[in-house]
A and B are shown apart, each in its own frame.
Chain A
Amino acid sequence: MTAAKGTGTSTQVGPPLWLLAELTYRCPLQCPYCSNPLDFAQSEQELSTEQWFSVLRQGREMGAAQLGFSGGEPLVRPDLPELIAEARNLGYYTNLITSGLGLTDAKVDAFAEAGLDHIQISFQASDPELNNAVAGSRKAFEQKLAMAEAVKSAGYPMVLNFVIHRHNIHQMPDILDLCERLGADYVELATCQYYGWAFRNREGLMPSLAQLTKAEAEVNEARERLQASGSAMKLIFVTPDYYEERPKACMNGWGSLFLTVAPDGTALPCHSARLLPIDFPKVQSTSLKEIWYDSPGFNHYRGDTWMPEPCRSCDEKGKDFGGCRCQAYLLTGNADNADPVCSKSAHHDRILAARRAADHATAGLDDLVYRNVKNSRLFFRS
């Protein structure tokens, strides 16, 4: 799969409104659902400050308005304040997506000075014991609490993110209480998406339907309560597509809005796409404009002429674009196939099998493969 199969041309393709800058794969935490590639440790090369400046300038000229700094843990980059200042100067809305580890009161203020618009802090659970066990770090929870408070008092909008899985989903009411106590403006309750490390650990992470139904009811109840009390706290519950009968419109369509640049400069239509057997260009050797509009990688799944059945003749193909290419690849071995989440997919039984497995799973936290350099090396040496 090297030739471009999509129908996209420069005139039909809109601008990349969203730029995700994955500054590094380095991270002090070891969350077993990390979306980074399993073999991240193979790629230690990182773009320089100047190279990131160039990416930011090109992206902004092309129309990108939202910029996410993520990783790994973006705070490990010492040039983060310079990158924030440059991004803000260019007119981006700048989002820092962080674990909170490595953050200090002084940095929170310095980033605000540089023009950072928003800091999103991720939590692993509502209590220190579970949080630190999932994160693989003994002092993570206390640090996160302190930094959430620092973010709030510095005047940023507060966005808290919880990745939800079978080991913390029972905490939903406590999680919501914690968010209210901290004064969050937005709370993302993101049930695991099974890519990267989460796919490797899927059996140990996926909640059962009963767990999910209960949590969803708890979220809806809280939402009504918040609305009645006039609270502006917004709950965003990302349901797992493994319990759907139609696939998600992944990334709003391949190469339609989102452009990710990985730490080593590889440009991707989403942060998982490097697992696909497709050649993606690097920003060091190709301009962002050429990458977005003309590269075979970005044109690969634009339009719908690449679709096999059942997508090709489906009247919903304009709505969900056949679902997620990475999921199709991970579950069927061929990224062209319909996303198996779809009940029309010939491979939908793999989703049903995962649901059944989730009803009987017994794996504990100790059975998960944690995301760290040692484990990552096992994946690329084997």
Chain B
Amino acid sequence: MSEDGASRIPRLRRGFRFQWEPVQSCHVLLYPEGMVKLNDSAGAILGEVDGQRNVDLIVASLQLKFPDENDLGADVREFLNDAVQRHWIEWL
């Protein structure tokens, strides 16, 4: 495992579900009796969290989708660490 955790694999915690809500026009994270509305970037990042790919692969995939954004890595790592703190996701 590298220093900055680039090879770590995030996954949604048990009981959490990520989905698109057409009426609200946004992605949401659903959990027992709760819901978080996600902004576009949070939605884009969590959409890549599949319990299979590590942080490096997630960053690479997002970079392909958003070629105009410079160095997404730092933002993605910050968001994922924050999501772990909030107990939305966990490291495998």
- Contacts from A to B (Cβ < 8 Å): 15, 17, 62-63, 65-66, 68, 91, 93, 95, 117-118, 120, 155-157, 159, 185-186, 232, 234
Q: Are A93 and B35 in contact (CB under 8 A)?
A: yes
Known: A91-B19, A117-B15, A156-B15. A66 touches B24 (CB 8 A): no
Assuming A93-B17, A118-B32, A186-B32, what are 19 further A-B pairs, CB within 8 angstroms?
A: A17-B24, A62-B23, A63-B23, A63-B24, A65-B21, A65-B24, A66-B33, A66-B34, A66-B35, A91-B19, A117-B17, A117-B30, A118-B33, A120-B32, A156-B14, A156-B15, A157-B13, A157-B15, A157-B31
Known: A157-B14, A232-B87, A234-B87. A95 touches B19 (CB 8 A): no
**21 interchain pairs (CB within 8 A)?**
A15-B24, A17-B35, A63-B21, A63-B23, A65-B21, A65-B28, A65-B30, A65-B35, A66-B34, A91-B19, A93-B30, A93-B31, A93-B35, A118-B31, A156-B15, A157-B13, A157-B32, A159-B32, A159-B33, A185-B15, A232-B87
Roughly how many angstroms separate A15 CA and B37 CA in the complex, as a whole number? 14
What's the nearest-Cβ distance from chain B to residue A293, in Å?
A: 13
Interface size on B, residues (CB 8 A): 17
Which residue of chain B has the shortest Cβ distance to A66 in the bound complex?
Answer: B35
Q: Are A155 and B21 in contact (CB under 8 A)?
A: no
Q: Which residues of B contact A66 (CB under 8 A)?
A: 30, 33-35
What's the nearest-Cβ distance from chain B to residue A57, in Å?
A: 14
Q: Which residues of B contact A159 (CB under 8 A)?
A: 32-33
**5 A-B pairs with the lowest CB-CB distances in the bound complex, closest first:** A157-B15, A63-B23, A93-B30, A118-B32, A232-B87
Q: Which residues of A contact B34 (CB under 8 A)?
A: 66
Which residue of chain A has the shortest Cβ distance to B17 in the bound complex?
Answer: A93
- Contacts from B to A (Cβ < 8 Å): 13-15, 17, 19, 21-24, 28, 30-35, 87
Roughly how many angstroms separate A93 CA and B35 CA in the complex, as a whole number? 9
Counting chain A CB atoms within 10 Å of each CB, the highest count among B19, B28, B32 belongs to B32
B17, B23, B31, B33: which contacts A120 (Cβ < 8 A)? B33
Roughly how many angstroms separate A65 CA and B36 CA in the complex, as a whole number? 11
Q: Which residues of A contact B31 (CB under 8 A)?
A: 93, 118, 157
Q: Which residues of A contact B23 (CB under 8 A)?
A: 15, 62-63
What's the nearest-Cβ distance from chain B to residue A116, in Å?
A: 11
Roughly how many angstroms separate A68 CA and B24 CA in the complex, as a whole number? 20
Roughly how many angstroms separate A232 CA and B85 CA in the complex, as a whole number? 9
Q: Which residues of A contact B87 (CB under 8 A)?
A: 232, 234
Roughly how many angstroms separate A62 CA and B24 CA in the complex, as a whole number? 10
Roughly how many angstroms separate A155 CA and B24 CA in the complex, as a whole number? 29
Q: Are B14 and A155 in contact (CB under 8 A)?
A: yes
Q: Which residues of A contact B14 (CB under 8 A)?
A: 155-157, 185
Roughly how many angstroms separate A68 CA and B28 CA in the complex, as a whole number? 18
What's the nearest-Cβ distance from chain B to residue A100, in Å?
A: 16
Q: Which residues of B contact A68 (CB under 8 A)?
A: 33
Q: Which residues of A contact B22 (CB under 8 A)?
A: 63
What's the nearest-Cβ distance from chain A to residue B34, in Å?
A: 8
Q: Which residues of B contact A62 (CB under 8 A)?
A: 23
Q: Which residues of B contact A117 (CB under 8 A)?
A: 15, 17, 30, 32
Roughly how many angstroms separate A246 CA and B55 CA in the complex, as a whole number? 46
Roughly how many angstroms separate A234 CA and B87 CA in the complex, as a whole number? 10
Roughly how many angstroms separate A134 CA and B34 CA in the complex, as a whole number? 29
Q: Which residues of B contact A234 (CB under 8 A)?
A: 87
What's the nearest-Cβ distance from chain B to residue A234, in Å?
A: 7
Which residue of chain A has the shortest Cβ distance to B22 in the bound complex?
Answer: A63
Roughly how many angstroms separate A68 CA and B30 CA in the complex, as a whole number? 13
Q: Which residues of B contact A232 (CB under 8 A)?
A: 13, 87
Roughly how many angstroms separate A62 CA and B22 CA in the complex, as a whole number? 10
Q: Which residues of B contact A155 (CB under 8 A)?
A: 14
